[in-house]
Amino acid sequence: MLGLTVSHYRVTGKLGTGGMGIVYEADDIRLPRKVALKFLPDELADDADAVRRFAREAATIALISHPHICTIYEVDTHDGRQFIAMERIDGANLKTYMAREEMDTSRIIDVAMQITGALAAAHAKGIVHRDIKPGNVMVSGDGHVKVLDFGLARQFKMPGTNETGLEGSTIPGRPLGTANYMAPERILQLPLDPRCDLFSLGVIIYEMATSRLPFAGASPGDTVTNVLDREPVPLTDLAPHCPAALGHLVERLLAKRAADRYQTAEHLADALGKIRVPPATMATRLLRRLMPGR
């Protein structure tokens, strides 16, 4: 599609491909800005379930306005294929960022707080993301975090209301998403609420701190077994430089039962804010800011 004009966008490059879409970089020829255009992969263009999820993603994000959630500009059609035009975020996804950046405790907490803020905004609208993972989190050059890809999002019943919310499209017997980041109730396809997103964020924090996944197995089946039945190696055993409070926080987030986790993103944000960063870590971070080349 390089060089093609899609609606009032001129495609200038390809940003990435995933199971839920292909994303291109484009110039808006009406406004001086770069955008990202997301299309369904060719093999899913005629899949009714995938088309419903794609349309629901735009409808879901349109409900939320938050600085840590990717902004949707519009939904349109090109040659019979629906696409979503969204803000272009300069940076890398968190998976890539973790691979090339050494993350100290203060940076881990900073990123976790930003994701938590995005989740709090989504949950306040009755939306559970269901696919929180590093590939769906972008980190800009100045460290600003954006959560994207609400293609698997579902709306849950808010306490005290009878709203039915968005219709689901998950195929019975096959939960959609990435098993390494799925809460046990996601794998078992039990009724969902925001606490499954908090479990996924716990996996991300563990990975940022240790460079390892807490439940990774030799096969997808082993991973599922680990998520459902086994406890991970304690975070501080693998990352002794991290404070014990961070280890305790992650342990609670990764609890098998949702009732044993933090119950809301606001509660999690409060707990993250109370973790004391070791003075040596803060000094090192300040030195890096003052002398980025060292």
Active site residues: 131
Residues 6+ apart with CB under 8 A from 58: 72, 75, 84
Neighbours of 110 (CB within 10 A): 17
Instruction: Determine the 3-state secondary structure of 165 from DSSP.
Output: coil
Give, rounded to a whole angstrom, the gap between the first and last alpha carbons of the chain: 42
**Strand 21-28, strand 5-6: pairing:** unpaired
Residue 44 — φ and ψ, nearest 5°?
Answer: -110, 0
Distance CA 265, CA 236 (A): 23
Q: Tell me the backbone φ, ψ of residue 154, rounded to 5 degrees.
A: -135, 150
- Tokens representing 185 are 């109730």
The one-letter code for the residue type at 169 is S
Cα Rg of the chain, angstroms: 20
- In the numeric block, the tokens 């809301």 are attached to 264
Residue 33 forms beta bridges with which residues? 28
Between CA 273 and CA 189 the distance in angstroms is 32
Residue pair 194/264 in contact (Cβ under 8 Å)? The answer is yes
Residue the block writes with tokens 């949702």: 258
